[in-house]
Chains A and B, each alone.
Chain A
Amino acid sequence: QLQLQESGPGLVKPSETLSLTCTVSGGSISSSDQYWGWIRQPPGKGLEWIGSIYYDGSTYYNPSLQSRVTISVDTSKNQFSLNLSSVTAADAAVYYCARHRPGTKAFDIWGQGTMVTVSS
């Protein structure tokens, strides 16, 4: 049974880079037709897609975040990662990693989420 788990600092200083990792267990991150994404949710607000990465490494980002976002895959560790640079208080949110259901764009398996606070 495929499971995803986010990890990373819960507190990031303004202007610094937020870095999170999603560890995939119960399956291979590099299986063909698999792709993975990051979604965030500020406290009390709605969901926002951040970006996604295919098993071949190709990436797609939210245009509003594209200049600050990098998503990468480490197949040797069965992990994928999110880097968000120059963070501000507006980037404080619960960050989720998730798997796209094969053959569709829907996210069918989600991590439990991790809260990231931006404060000095």
Chain B
Amino acid sequence: QSALTQPASVSGSPGQSITISCTGTSSDVGGYNYLSWYQQHPGKAPKLMIYDVSNRPSGVSNRFSGSKSGNSASLTISGLQAEDEADYYCYSYTSSSSLVFGTGTKVTVL
């Protein structure tokens, strides 16, 4: 199975909004709403930020939001803060009953 496609890097200034895309196929992203997003700081375990396309776990800032259209999904971070600088990964269920991560995006706060 192929990893979902994400941009290698996205950057923005503090206070701005940025969007990270995640592109798959009708067999994964487009076929199911089991799409989630993870934030990973260097040397740390990933942290769940969004699950089932647009749901935020308790404790995750409402500056993070998710959406999906067709075979692509997006994570938007509004009011960008220095602490948001990290790697972000999308993740989806697939038609072969497996799971696949995206290629990862490094977010830089300028």
Q: Of all chain A residues, which has the CB nearest B49? A: A106
A residues within 8 A CB of B34? 104-106
The answer to whether A63 and B45 touch (CB under 8 A), given A104-B36, A106-B36, is no
Binary flags per residue of B16-59, CB closer than 8 Å to A gives 1, else 0: 00000000000000000010101010000111100110000100
Check A106 against B103 for contact (C-beta < 8 Å).
no
Central interface residue in A39, A47, A106, by most chain B CB within 10 Å: A106
The answer to whether A106 and B1 touch (CB under 8 A), given A96-B45, A111-B45, is no
B residues within 8 A CB of A64? 1
Q: Is B97 part of the binding interface, using a Cβ–Cβ cutoff of 8 Å? A: yes
Q: Of all chain A residues, which has the CB nearest B34? A: A105
Q: Tally chain A residues at the interface, Cβ within 8 Å.
A: 23
Q: Is B64 part of the binding interface, using a Cβ–Cβ cutoff of 8 Å? A: no
Q: Of all chain B residues, which has the CB nearest A105? A: B34
CA distance A112 to B44 in the complex (A): 7
Q: Tally chain B residues at the interface, Cβ within 8 Å.
A: 25
CB of A96, distance to nearest CB on chain B (Å): 6
Q: Is A101 part of the binding interface, using a Cβ–Cβ cutoff of 8 Å? A: yes
Which chain B residues in 64-110 approach chain A with CB under 8 Å? 89, 91, 93, 96-104
B residues within 8 A CB of A108? 48, 51, 57
CB of A34, distance to nearest CB on chain B (Å): 16
Cross-chain pairs A/B with CB under 8 angstroms, 15 sampled: A39-B101, A46-B104, A47-B38, A47-B40, A47-B46, A48-B101, A49-B91, A49-B101, A62-B99, A63-B98, A101-B48, A107-B48, A107-B91, A110-B45, A112-B45
A interface with B by C-beta (< 8 Å): 37, 39, 46-49, 52, 60-64, 96, 101, 104-108, 110-113
